[in-house]
Amino acid sequence: MTSFYSAKIWQEGKRGPPPIFASIGVRHPFQIQLDIALREQETLPSLFDLIGQEIEHFDAGNTVIAVAQIPKVSQDQSLEVFRENRAWQELQRRMHSSVARLEPRGLSMLAYALARMKGFEDPVLLTAVLDRSVTKMPDFGPTDAAKLLCKSRLQIRERSDLWVALSKEAARKICDSGRFIDISMTAWAFAKAGQAERILFGQLASAALQCNDLPPHTIANLCWAFAKSKNSNKDLFDMLAKRSIEAHRSFDRQSVSNLVWAFATLDVCHEELFAVFANYTIDSGLWRQFSPQMASNMLWAYGKVGIAHMRLFDTFAEYVALNIESFDNQNLANSAWAYATTQLPSQQVFDVLTKRACGRLSTFRLDELCGIMWAYVRAKPESVAFSHIFEESVQLLLPRVQSLDSQSVANVIWILATCQQLRQQAVPQARELVDSLMVALLDLRIRLDSEGAAQVVWSLWRMGRFHDAWILFVRTLSDGRHPEHGKTGYTKKHAVDGRQRYYQTLLMETEKRGDVQKQVFLWKQMAADFFSRNLRTACLNCAVMAYLNGGDQDGAREMLRQMVRTKLFNQVTGSLAARMGIRNLEAELEPAEILDITIRRRPNCQSRYEDFHYKEASVLETVVREARAGDVTSVHAAIENVGLKEVWLKIAGGEKACVIDNVIAKQRPKLILEFGTYVGYTSTRMALQVDAWGGKVVTMEMDPVNVTSLKEVEARNHIEMAGLSHAVMVQLGHSDDAVQMVLEKFGAHSVDMVFMDQRGTAFHDDLKTLERLNLMAENAVVIADNVLKPGAPYHVWRISTLPHYATDIIDLREFGSAPVEDWMTVSWVRFGPSYGQLPQEVRQLNELARESDRFRLKAMATSMKDLVGDPLDDFAKKFTDEFIQLGIRTSMYVRTDIIDGCAVSRLVRLGAGESPPVWAGEDPRDEIQGGQWRGVVGGVQFAGEALAPGGGYMREPPSRMTIAPGG
């Protein structure tokens, strides 16, 4: 018996497809005609009728052809009704007896057919096919090897020998075949079986890049396989995106859904691809043919990459309403999550989802239940949070507490706290549920990872249960050890280590309560978490300050002795010691005899949190090393040099400082509220000026590392060395939480100036909160930074359309990155009928807002300098054009000239219809050193001044144009 399958023999002596089985001589013409007759059957009953009539005459080839035809005509019909059929039983017997004679083509056809049969089970036959395949593997051609791989549906993951052999053949033959369909099918099978080796997928990617014929369904399958196996390949996905866009009208519904799902799963936000397929799905009417699974996957994909395509979401809102009865639990949870994530006003969608979900929540898996609850507290409008879905969920979760995992516990507590915040009252029986979950946490039956712990600590604090939050921290979290976190990488959303977040919540409350011992305990815990000696010293300096602010001189002295013992002190420590009358730390203080065990503790290496915040750590180190005691300008110069010469820093220096200086000179505010402290550069610049008339700066920061840098080096150095400790107050906490504390401390109508430098898409919410709480004074002024890049579309619309604002939009350049254009806005605020109200809704702003958030994440993960070019410029143009269509455009720009080796910036008002000059060519400002940038104060009038009673808001206008000192 001779095999004619060998590629060389077949190519030399035969034409047509390779043989299915090894035969002696030539097949009888009757068997060939029988093959044709079997292939012509179009229904399962007619096929089995023919099999029953001719089965006695079948050879191995007829047997394989018959089996291969079954899934083609069954239309997902189960074989259950044919199990007792004599023809089926005889066909199974012949499959067993034929396996030993099958060649690779027959093996692949048989395996592929069996994999597609619904309800088929025959472990003995499967084993025989696998064993024969392993022995014949060297003879497999690329197409047959690809088809054999599809047996992954038959659960053959445990056959490592087969997967190793297939992997070798895939690398040797399939990658060289040049057939994209073989590459796609192979990748799909390996991903489906969980056998996706990175080396093999790299080879498949390289081979795919050389292919020209790319059918749409194979593109979608290949993308799906790479996404399923978490194998990202930028070059491949760029090529596939281009080819998909070119051929998008040939994609069917499944291919569209799989394609966008794959790109979103790998966080590949190809904006053109998502736009093209959204429009194609809508315009072609393809969305009407989607299954609920396809629809929810597509919505999930657009939510995942942050693209709020309004037409798509509006169209699928109609789809949801029409097909809601066909939605299963996962479809409901994914759809709700997508609408909530994109922040599109979706009350009608959530009403429809609620009707479907309520009454059947008991059938939801825990992740589905948590997912839909999360969506309801994040959705717009906030009235969605009043859905009865929360009451039903609490009732279901109470008896299931023991079955919740750590992620579910953290999510449930956070959801209940957020819902309580939105409703202004707790969900019925939520306290009982949280009590039960707390018992499980304190008994260590459930261990939280650091980010889950941050969620729970904040939630307990928000629900008014700070004591519970503190007990949880002390008993289960203060050792700094957490279960390994499932999220990895340095993408923005995973960059903030959870420990820093729960320290933030605990410090915020202990500072409010004036509990010095708890503050010191927390600062020492933070010091123990850091590897860097600079950061450790900064945290311990904060502990000394807590003692001094609380009037505990003995505690401060003992802390200094601990720092002398460990050599953890710097210039700031010396400044703090000087406040206690100690001029020379090492000479005047005996090292502590017993070292605090917390201070002794130190990690073995830098955490990913320290790695991610390397820029801030470098500022801390530079200021300590280079700034001169008693000279605040040297501190500012050191920070500016880091931003100009080393790495881009998000500070309002240069042209931006010129804007702030002009507003302060005109407004002469008594109290400035800053959102976003960062390294303390702007807060100390502002404090240096307002201190002249007894003013004060309150700066709010949610990141304790930034606060440490601020209070211990950047800010405390500035404050202590410049004598500004009475002029700056640092309020730790997220803006939602910290603003209320500012109100309690300073009272209503106390804030004369607001500087916003946090997330741009939150500006409008924070400003609305200030108005709701009546925190701003009459004729207060609001400055917002980074309004164009990354962008603050909601804020621009609010301050440009509501009549109680008088606004200038100022075009300028990013500090330390002159090619990057940005906007700042300056708005004077007066009380009136529109005060505290919402502007008219413009839904297209949602797309700009989501795009703004994406650019912000990229800028924080890399640098604004790295984003210079087409993507950033295209977004800025889109942003600008959108607002020009709405009648909003820049009214001023900042001009900078080099005078006597210094950069001098001044405000220039634009004429009607005039555009700011376009930056081009070399920038002489690149040669400027820190401390060599000046701003001209005066010579221009803001829009708010002209509208104010008496011709201006200025408390004490400057008599002439002046140049503010740099640094």
pLDDT(812) > 60:
yes
**Is the backbone peptide bond immediately before 704 cis, with ω within 30 degrees of 0?**
no
Mean pLDDT for the stretch of residues 121-132: 83
pLDDT in tens, 701-729: 755 545 443 344 355 556 665 667 788 88
Cα separation, 684 vs 727, whole angstroms: 9
Range in 41-55, 145-159, 224-238, 735-749 the model is least confident about: 145-159
pLDDT in tens, 435-479: 999 999 999 888 888 888 989 999 999 999 999 999 999 988 876
User: Where are the strands (E) in 655-750, listed by range?
Assistant: 671-675, 696-701, 728-732
Are the C-beta atoms of 320 and 353 separated by less than 8 Å? yes
- Whole-prediction pTM value? 0.81
Q: Per-residue confidence at 949, pLDDT binned at 50, 70, 90?
A: very low
Q: What separation in angstroms does the CA of 678 have from each of 586, 756, 757?
A: 32, 12, 9
Give residue 489's pLDDT.
Answer: 35
Range in 31-35, 414-418, 506-510, 924-928 the model is least confident about: 924-928
Range in 305-309, 656-660, 892-896 the model is least confident about: 305-309
pLDDT(493) > 50:
no
CATH of 617-963, one of 3.10.450.40, 3.40.630.40, 3.40.50.150, 3.30.70.360: 3.40.50.150
Burial of residue 204 (number of CB atoms within 10 Å: 0-12, 13-18, 19+): buried
Cα separation, 603 vs 652, whole angstroms: 34
868 torsion bin: left (phi>0), alpha (psi -120 to 50), beta (else) = beta
Give residue 709's pLDDT.
Answer: 39
Give residue 143's pLDDT.
Answer: 66
Q: Where in the chain are all domains bearing CATH 3.40.50.150?
A: 617-963
Q: Per-residue confidence at 148, pLDDT binned at 50, 70, 90?
A: low
Name every residue whose Cβ is closer than 8 Å to that of residue 368 and which is 6 or more positions away in sequence: 329, 330, 332, 333
Paired tokens of 88:
């089926």
pLDDT in tens, 788-797: 888 889 999 9
In the sheet with 696-701, reading across from the earlier edge strand, the strands are: 728-732, 696-701, 671-675, 751-756, 776-784, 817-829, 805-814, 892-899, 902-909, 933-937, 962-964
Are the C-beta atoms of 108 and 145 separated by less than 8 Å? yes
User: The tokens 């479907």 sit on which residue?
Assistant: 356
Q: What separation in angstroms does the CA of 470 have from each of 460, 476, 477, 530?
A: 9, 10, 10, 21
